[in-house]
Chains A and B, each alone.
Chain A
């Protein structure tokens, strides 16, 4: 009968166990993964926030005068997704197991392998997202399996309204997903605020198939409410038929 104590935990045994584990695993399609990596590598890196609208930044609609204004608190804020390399709070399991005098070392591992998220220098008047601010929502890493998270932003107006936004890159289109944290906010006001925050002309909102639709700088957008809070999805660049945008929005609602 096999006895558990018959073997020793040798280095070779651990090596074999790891090797077997890596060999046996069946990852998702490599082809699909590579395609996403290529998209990720070709995605436009967010440069310093300048006097360009988010639409022209992403090469969209030729706008006559789409400038970001840093007056009166209106502007576009850039958030760097700090989660990947920030320590944050360790989970209880980790704390219990890592009681060691090297706590400082743990925090320094934020910069492991020397990969730093380079902070761009913002033009004066535009505030970076600060660590003391409340944490941004956890954005999905992809939407509709075709658009991948690029950057997180904060849109803040003079009236203290604040929206969180996330830019998603597809092969040819770029989308902006916006979430409001203002409860009981009238939807029309939400869309108006988006117009102000983005310094973009938004025509009168209409309705398509039960959705609140609008056009921002010539690009389609949709607004809806989820859990009492306003959401919007709009196309920043490229071409996406409204019905396809609606399909993506439906998936987001379902998540």
Chain B
């Protein structure tokens, strides 16, 4: 079934359709919440709340193709606000056991690439929630800056600013010297 068809059924409160969407997006939505909260139990609750709110407000989703990104925004906003209520500053990171990564060709390049990816993975976890949110929306969900701005109800300049700071922070974390052009947030290869 096409995503548009599924969402049409969800709008009619079809439980099976909801279940399909849940199964498609549960893991990544939990990941977004967890990376902000760093607590499994809290992330679990926030993830469930995000789905509930998404299904209850599905009529507000204008572009069906953006459901995943929209859900990620809901989850990350819930997580951010939970942190604010708790006024908890994250000092430690609950180290989670990573599942083994995909089996790669064992050439030197692929091994090095895998290490690079792992380093960037860890660096991304140091991003503050607002920056993490826009990084996920741009790089994982492939939204344009204007789309992110609209979804978050802020100005495009704010998104650019957050992306700029996010990339700078990543570069600092990775101890890289980035070309200023790469920090623009527009993305060199988009």
Interface residues of A (CB under 8 A from B): 2, 4-28, 30, 33-34, 36-38, 40-41, 83-94, 97-98, 100, 102, 105-106, 108-109, 111-115, 138, 141-142
Query: How near does chain B come to A67, taking the closest CB pair, in angstroms?
Result: 30
Q: Are B81 and A86 in contact (CB under 8 A)?
A: yes
Interfacial chain B residues near A102, Cβ < 8 Å: 154-155, 157-158, 161
Tell me the complex Cα distance, A11–B138, Å.
10
Which residue of the partner chain B has the closest CB to A29?
B44
4 A-B pairs with the lowest CB-CB distances in the bound complex, closest first: A105-B154, A17-B120, A27-B30, A102-B158
Partner of A113, one of B15, B35, B70, B99: B70
Task: Please name 13 further chain A to chain B contacts, defined as beta carbons within 8 Å, in addition to the given A97-B128, A114-B153, sorted by A numbering.
Answer: A12-B189, A16-B120, A17-B121, A22-B31, A22-B140, A34-B22, A37-B22, A41-B56, A84-B78, A85-B81, A91-B84, A102-B161, A115-B74
Which residue of the partner chain A has the closest CB to B82?
A83
Q: Describe B's contact surface by its main secondary structure.
A: helix
Q: Are A89 and B84 in contact (CB under 8 A)?
A: yes
On whether A91 and B52 interact (CB within 8 A), knowing A9-B170, A21-B31, A141-B45, the answer reads no
Q: Describe A's contact surface by its main secondary structure.
A: helix
Tell me the complex Cα distance, A15–B49, Å.
26
Q: Are B155 and A37 in contact (CB under 8 A)?
A: no
Q: Are A113 and B175 in contact (CB under 8 A)?
A: no
Q: Are B47 and A27 in contact (CB under 8 A)?
A: yes
Q: Are A24 and B101 in contact (CB under 8 A)?
A: yes
Q: Are A11 and B190 in contact (CB under 8 A)?
A: yes
Q: Are A25 and B34 in contact (CB under 8 A)?
A: yes
Q: Are B140 and A19 in contact (CB under 8 A)?
A: yes
Interface residues of B (CB under 8 A from A): 15, 18-19, 22-23, 26-28, 30-31, 34-35, 40, 44-45, 47-49, 51-53, 55-57, 60, 70, 73-74, 77-78, 81-90, 96-99, 101-102, 112, 115-118, 120-121, 123-124, 128-131, 135-136, 139-140, 151-155, 157-158, 161-162, 165, 167, 170-171, 174-179, 182, 187-190
Tell me the complex Cα distance, A25–B49, Å.
19
* 7 CB < 8 A contacts A-B: A5-B177, A9-B170, A12-B189, A84-B53, A94-B128, A108-B153, A113-B151
Q: Are B98 and A24 in contact (CB under 8 A)?
A: yes
Q: Are A4 and B140 in contact (CB under 8 A)?
A: no
On whether A112 and B151 interact (CB within 8 A), knowing A7-B116, A88-B81, A102-B161, the answer reads yes
Q: Are A9 and B60 in contact (CB under 8 A)?
A: no
Query: How near does chain A come to B38, taking the closest CB pair, in angstroms?
Result: 12
Q: Are B44 and A21 in contact (CB under 8 A)?
A: no
Tell me the complex Cα distance, A113–B31, Å.
20
Interfacial chain B residues near A94, Cβ < 8 Å: 128-130
Query: How near does chain A come to B120, taking the closest CB pair, in angstroms?
Result: 4
Q: Are A14 and B154 in contact (CB under 8 A)?
A: no
Query: How near does chain B come to A238, taking the closest CB pair, in angstroms?
Result: 21
Q: Are B124 and A21 in contact (CB under 8 A)?
A: yes
